[in-house]
Every structure is written in structure tokens, then in C-alpha cells.
């Protein structure tokens, strides 16, 4: 990303590397700000017109990723008796009925991944089921212990933020042996968050493998594993993620998933370049960094930006009969995150947050803070400018989003009262669910 600095000087709000990166791709003729589309699922079609038109083309700048409506997948309910058998084989009726996501893309740039990855999602009363198919000629895995660092191997990763609060989201990684690592993040690492798992906290750690139903993963390799002499056809994996774990501290305690609900979700695939040394796979030293391929582009090599994850729309009844619906609070969420990023740019420059929307607007893409697609935004300072609460009402005044300095975001409808960034303690017990 070193080439970015000169580009950034012409965009005052382009203060972050990923933004510059996006801009550099624009210069190379590739169009930023694409709307969801494509393979088998999730084009928003006419819905796209509801996304604020002023954010599509910010002059000759690329629209920053957090203003781009992400990919979306409609997940259909399954009665428990129809849940897939967890054996890594995707031949279950439950999987055959539903489409795959679009093929994953590179996390930050527009280079097509070397191998295709696609996923499917369903839900029952007590768990989210995820299936993935990974094209891969060299299937290998080294990690054999639950809650070791799986991404040292090639892996498939699922990130879930039921409430869309950027807080207490859950991450699960699995390798081609079906070995898992699951963790809870109270907030993103970049906002001071930390891993809670049995890896870091032993028996006191968050571990969905001990919940009911337990976290379960099974992988199936087409061909032998860890044998460089044989080309593989790829691998597939099935995961069961218990709701009771996914929702812990993330959403209101009594939250029960319903058709029509929206969650934030993301998938990622880590892929290392390997070579054959004496009949064993080793990492190719010519490629010290792994590739990261994702369902919905993040805009930088960083998964821990939950506001940019894809959207999961829960549905029930006949498969394929539910239309894709836009997350109603998208504009308020996007503007709240715009303020979050502008505040951190102001903090970096002046050493404190501000309550001046006018100043924030200098660090934000055009037309985001001027009420073009939301009601009038307001910001109040907290703890002597050490923190802030920014409030973003919807244009029609029926709901309000609010965000604070550590990225914690919530959205309340009018009948729930005003959005108060601090109505949950700083440990963020529970958030309203996504609306």
C-alpha cells in the first residue's frame, strides 16, 4: 500500500490505507462501489436504488467500502429433523435445495483468487449451519488441537455479528482436518478488543464446543490429505454454530431468530502457497504472506471490520420464495460508521474527538453528513472528549443509529426510545438485534 500516499493528498477524507487502495484501483479503471450482484443468490435488484444515490459516485473518488451495500444471502429455516448430517459431504437435501453464495473475492484487491470458494447457509431453532466448498489441488493441514491457531493452516472462517453492533461477535475457523478454533471478540482488535477463547483463557474461555448443541465441524477431502504426490479435487466442510454461543453478550438475552431478521456475517479463506519438500508440504518462502479470499470484499486485509461484512437475511418456508430485502437501517448505519472513521481521523490529527459536524464533514466523503440520506446528525462528547456518542436518525424519523468511539453501534426504533450509546455498560452485555 506504499504507493497510496500521493493519491491520498488529493482526497482530504482519504486518510486510511484501504481508502487509498480503493482509489488506486479506480485510477486503474476499475469501478468502486459496486452493488451486490451475481451468482445464484443475492442481487438486490431494484433495492439498489434505495441506497443513497449521492454515495455512489463521490466525484472521481471511489466510494469507501463502508458505504457500499455488501453482499447478502437469504438463509432458509430447517426443521431440526432436516438438519444436514455433519460429515463434510454436501449431498444432504438441506444443501441441495439452496444456492451457493457468489464465489469469494480477494479481501482487498481485484485480483481473482487462484481457487474458487463458495458457501451455503441454513438455520434451525438452535444453530446456524454453514457449508463450504473449496477448490484446492494441494489439501494439507497441520493443526490437530481444538482452539490452536488454525489460520497457520489453510482454513475456512466464519464471522457472525447477530446484532450488527460490532461488539461480541464470534469467529470460527476450521481446517481440512475439521479442527476448529472459535473465539468471541468483545470489540475489534483495532478498537482495543481481545480474544476470549479456551486458547487464551483455558477452562474460563469462551468455547462453543462445550455448548448445546456443541460447535461441530467435519471436513471431507477429495483425495488424500498431506500428500504432495497426489493432486486433490478440493475439500468441503460443514459447520454447526450454536445460537447460544453466537448470541452470547451480542444481542438481547431473550432474542430468538425469526424469519425477516438480518444478521451480519462474513466468510474468509486463508490460503498459503506451499511446495513439496521431500514428500511433505511446506510453506513456500517466496510467499511469506497468506492470501485472504472473502465472500464480500472488506477493502483492506482486515476481517475485523464488522460494519463491512455481508448481510444474512433469515427466511422460512419454501426455499427460493423469499425476495432479497434491504437492511432497513443501512443508511443510518453507514453514516454512523462514517462519523466513527471521521472522528478517528480528527483524533489522530488533533488528539481529541469533536462535536462539530462541520469539522467531521471535512474528514468524511461528500454528502454523507449533510442529511442527504438520513436525518440531521448530532454528536455529543463524553468524558471530556475522550469518547463521543453520534446519533443518526433515519430520514423518515422512525429509527436512529448511534455509535461511540470503540465502534459499538446500535439501532433503535422510535418506540424503543432514543439511541443511547452508553445505555449498555462498557462490557456491552447485550444489544438490540439488527433492524
> E strand or H helix at 128, and its extent?
strand 127-134
Answer whether 8's CB lies under 8 Å from 15's CB: yes
- How many amino acids of this chain bind ligand NAG (CB under 6 A)? 39
Answer whether 273's CB lies under 8 Å from 287's CB: yes
Sign of the alpha-carbon dihedral angle for 55, 56, 61, 63: positive
Q: Please identify, using beta-carbon distances, which residue of 118 and 297 lies nearer to ligand NAG.
A: 297
Residue 425, C-beta contacts closer than 8 angstroms, at least 6 positions apart: none
Q: Please identify, using beta-carbon distances, which residue of 127 and 248 lies nearer to ligand NAG.
A: 248
Out of 62, 298, 368, 410, the only residue in the binding site for ligand NAG (CB under 6 A) is 298
Out of 34, 97, 322, 378, the only residue in the binding site for ligand NAG (CB under 6 A) is 97
> E strand or H helix at 147, and its extent?
none
Give me the least distance between CB of 205 and ligand NAG, in Å please: 5
Taking contact as CB under 6 A, which single stretch among the options 260-268, 351-359, 363-371, 382-390 is the one that binds ligand NAG?
260-268
Restricting to residues 343-402, name those near ligand NAG by CB under 6 A.
none
Measured distance CA(168)–CA(431) in Å, rounded = 10
Q: Please identify, using beta-carbon distances, which residue of 243 and 281 lies nearer to ligand NAG.
A: 281
Work out the angle at residue 66's Cα, subtended by the Cα atoms of residues 345 and 364, and round it to the nearest 5 degrees: 40
- DSSP E strand boundaries for 12-123: 72-77, 105-106, 117-123
Give me the least distance between CB of 384 and ligand NAG, in Å please: 25
Give me the least distance between CB of 182 and ligand NAG, in Å please: 11
Restricting to residues 306-325, name those near ligand NAG by CB under 6 A.
308-310, 319-320
Give me the least distance between CB of 4 and ligand NAG, in Å please: 13
Restricting to residues 99-118, name those near ligand NAG by CB under 6 A.
99, 107
Three-class secondary structure of residue 239 per DSSP: strand
Out of 42, 139, 294, 324, the only residue in the binding site for ligand NAG (CB under 6 A) is 294
Out of 63, 124, 166, 268, the only residue in the binding site for ligand NAG (CB under 6 A) is 268
Q: Please identify, using beta-carbon distances, which residue of 180 and 184 lies nearer to ligand NAG.
A: 184
Give me the least distance between CB of 227 and ligand NAG, in Å please: 12
Restricting to residues 173-232, name those near ligand NAG by CB under 6 A.
184, 186, 196, 201, 204-206
Give me the least distance between CB of 267 and ligand NAG, in Å please: 4
Q: Please identify, using beta-carbon distances, which residue of 119 and 379 lies nearer to ligand NAG.
A: 119
Out of 52, 55, 71, 411, the only residue in the binding site for ligand NAG (CB under 6 A) is 71
Give me the least distance between CB of 149 and ligand NAG, in Å please: 12
Taking contact as CB under 6 A, which single stretch among the options 293-301, 325-333, 350-358, 371-379 is the one that binds ligand NAG?
293-301
By the rule CB under 6 A, 282 interacts with ligand NAG: yes
Give me the least distance between CB of 280 and ligand NAG, in Å please: 6
Out of 24, 172, 266, 329, the only residue in the binding site for ligand NAG (CB under 6 A) is 266
Taking contact as CB under 6 A, which single stretch among the options 281-289, 367-375, 384-392, 401-409 is the one that binds ligand NAG?
281-289
Report which DSSP code applies to 398.
Answer: S
Measured distance CA(377)–CA(374) in Å, rounded = 8
Give me the least distance between CB of 338 and ligand NAG, in Å please: 15
Task: State the residues that interact with ligand NAG by CB under 6 A.
Answer: 27, 40, 59-60, 70-71, 97, 99, 107, 140, 142, 184, 186, 196, 201, 204-206, 248-249, 266-268, 274, 281-283, 294-298, 308-310, 319-320, 427, 429
Amino acid at each position: 500500500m506504499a504507493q497510496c500516499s500521493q493519491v491520498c493528498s488529493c482526497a482530504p477524507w482519504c486518510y486510511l490505507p484501504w481508502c487509498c487502495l480503493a482509489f488506486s484501483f479506480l485510477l486503474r479503471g476499475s469501478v468502486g462501489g459496486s452493488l451486490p450482484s451475481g451468482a445464484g443468490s443475492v442481487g438486490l435488484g431494484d433495492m439498489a436504488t434505495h441506497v443513497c444515490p449521492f454515495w455512489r459516485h463521490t466525484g472521481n473518488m471511489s466510494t469507501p467500502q463502508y458505504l457500499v451495500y455488501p453482499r447478502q444471502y437469504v438463509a432458509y429455516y430447517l426443521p431440526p429433523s432436516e438438519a444436514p448430517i455433519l460429515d463434510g459431504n454436501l449431498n444432504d437435501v438441506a444443501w441441495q435445495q439452496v444456492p451457493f453464495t457468489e464465489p469469494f473475492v480477494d479481501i482487498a484487491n481485484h485480483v481473482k483468487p487462484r481457487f474458487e470458494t463458495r458457501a451455503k447457509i441454513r438455520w434451525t431453532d438452535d444453530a446456524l449451519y454453514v457449508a463450504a466448498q473449496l477448490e484446492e489441488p494441494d489439501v494439507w493441514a497441520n493443526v490437530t488441537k481444538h482452539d490452536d491457531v488454525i489460520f497457520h493452516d489453510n482454513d475456512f472462517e466464519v464471522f457472525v455479528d447477530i446484532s450488527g453492533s460490532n461488539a461480541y461477535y464470534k469467529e470460527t475457523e476450521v481446517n481440512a482436518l475439521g479442527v476448529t478454533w472459535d473465539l468471541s471478540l468483545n470489540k475489534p482488535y483495532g478498537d482495543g478488543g481481545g480474544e476470549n477463547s479456551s486458547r487464551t483463557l483455558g477452562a474460563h474461555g469462551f468455547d462453543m464446543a462445550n455448548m448445546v448443541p456443541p460447535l461441530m465441524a467435519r471436513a471431507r477431502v477429495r483425495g488424500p490429505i498431506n500428500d504432495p504426490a497426489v493432486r486433490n479435487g478440493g475439500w468441503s466442510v460443514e459447520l454447526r454454530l450454536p445460537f447460544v454461543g453466537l448470541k452470547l453478550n451480542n444481542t438481547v438475552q431473550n432474542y430468538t431468530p425469526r424469519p425477516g431478521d438480518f444478521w451480519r456475517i462474513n466468510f474468509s479463506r486463508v490460503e498459503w502457497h506451499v511446495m513439496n519438500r521431500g514428500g511433505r508440504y511446506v510453506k513456500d518462502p517466496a510467499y511469506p504472506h497468506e492470501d485472504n479470499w472473502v465472500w464480500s470484499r472488506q477493502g483492506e486485509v482486515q476481517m475485523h471490520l464488522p460494519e463491512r461484512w455481508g448481510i444474512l437475511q433469515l427466511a422460512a418456508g419454501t426455499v427460493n420464495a423469499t425476495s432479497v430485502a434491504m437492511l432497513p437501517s443501512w443508511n443510518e448505519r453507514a453514516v454512523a460508521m462514517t462519523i466513527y472513521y471521521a472522528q478517528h481521523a480528527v483524533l489522530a490529527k488533533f488528539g481529541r474527538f469533536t462535536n462539530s459536524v462541520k469539522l467531521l464533514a471535512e474528514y468524511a466523503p461528500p454528502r454523507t453528513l449533510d442529511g442527504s440520506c438520513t436525518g440531521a446528525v448530532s454528536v455529543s462528547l463524553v468524558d471530556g472528549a475522550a469518547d463521543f456518542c453520534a446519533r443518526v436518525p433515519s430520514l423518515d424519523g422512525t429509527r436512529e443509529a448511534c455509535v461511540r468511539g470503540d465502534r459499538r453501534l446500535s439501532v433503535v426504533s422510535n418506540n424503543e426510545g432514543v439511541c443511547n450509546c452508553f445505555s449498555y455498560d462498557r462490557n456491552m452485555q447485550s444489544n438490540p438485534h439488527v433492524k
